[in-house]
Structure 1
Amino acid sequence: MPQTLFSQDRLSRTLGAVKALAGLVLLAAVSWEVIGGDRLRFSPLFLGVQFIVCLIFLCDFFVRWAAAERKGRFFFRNLPFLLLSVPYLNLMLWSGAEPSRSVGMLIGLMPLLRAFLAMVIVTGWLVGNKVRRLLTAYVFTVVVFTYISALVFYDYELPVNPKLHGFGNALWWAWMNVTTVGAEIFPVTAVGKVFCVLLPSLGMMFFPIFTTYVLQEYAPSKTKDE
């Protein structure tokens, strides 16, 4: 029994590392597509990378499903991960449906959410302390989500926002909003406005977690010194 648990844990960690690596590749492909790609159609490179990464996510799901003791429970608990792993954009294009750039980009970002969850889990494995793990995972979440928000904001706002002059401006806008300071670039599109609300909300969540970390790390030593 312990050997079985060890094998399952090793399999889980191996698959997690593969998913995290695939997620980084997908993030790089999305960045290239948004910043330097053709704004009229998706590049074959981006579509190919997304399809391969989605296949990796699907294989991960079915391998872990086959190894699970309670397959029904595993399936329903991990169904959202399965739905996020489907290459919807590739399937739509292969079927002859051609969504607009704005709709297609949102659909294409869905597998990136699955990759993001895998990277958060792997980041948590690298830190032993529970509080440090929480802080590390949250800092990672803030950094990656802020970067993805900048990509989405740039992709949607660039054609219609006269104050946006490059991806550097979009990245600056995202960081100013996540720190709750705000920026002089105001969103015009509905998607931009949604992210303009989400970023400060995420930033405000950081402060209590950071306070908890500081108390956990320094309060015991202070008590001991007294």
Structure 2
Amino acid sequence: MNHMNQLKNKIHQAFNDGNTVIGKIIGSFLLGLIILSGLLFMGENLPEFQPIKPYFETIDQVILIVFTIEYILRIWSAPNRRRAIFSFFGIIDLMVILPLLGFFPNIAFLRGLRVLEIFRMLKVIRQSSLFVTFIKSLKHYTEEFKIFGLSFCIVLIVSAFSIYTVEHPVNPEFSSIKEAVWWSFVSMSTVGYGDITPITGIGKLIASATILLGLGTIAMMTAILTKSFIDHFFGKRPHKCNFCHYPHHDHDAQFCKNCGQKLDMPLIQKTTTAS
């Protein structure tokens, strides 16, 4: 029993610790398979590769089998199997191997599940420790993201109702509030498809304001992401001061840089991309 637990721990470490030699080898191997899988998926749909499509499919099935073995080993070696199965990466891994069901006879309709192969590319996230640690760091900036989300929604709603009120009576393109919301979203993102355009002077003024406010909200989002990146990779620590609740301090900070009060927490080491 003890040997079995040791084996589980070694397998779990091999799949989840990218700092070990075996972890780097497995991670690189799986990443290579993911990239190859994506290339095969694209090649199968190109006319010039149709003569060798059966070879692509054979390689594709081998890759699927490898991913299935990976999924089984990950779940089997996980300390908490239920949590591993229903985690984000657990669900992605399961979605990836579902197309294997299409091989069984008399259930050909399940071959439609091959569309789920697109989820394979999401497995790249698991193999990138840099990306994973950065994503985890974003949870410390929930307040900033709430402000961004609220600001975006307010501008979107106000813009949509304003343009609908002004344009609807004279412009058939704004036939319902749905078109107005779509127009506002496209304008705020500065994409500007041009499928719906205002024709009144006030409508054009609203459009100009919507675009400028959209640029502002996008800049806010960019600033939040940039700050989280700098704080995470250059030694900031997301810990709130107990007095003024200022959230970000240097990795060796002992006092709050906002109010000067002593930080009531043990010193933690600088965060690195390897963590």
> TM-score interval w.r.t. the shorter chain?
0.3 to 0.5
Tell which has more relative contact order, 1 or 2 (C-alpha 8 A, sep 6+). Answer: 1
Larger Cα Rg: Structure 1 or Structure 2? Answer: 2
Q: What TM-score does the superposition give when structure 2 sets the normalisation length?
A: 0.40
Q: What TM-score does the superposition give when structure 1 sets the normalisation length?
A: 0.47
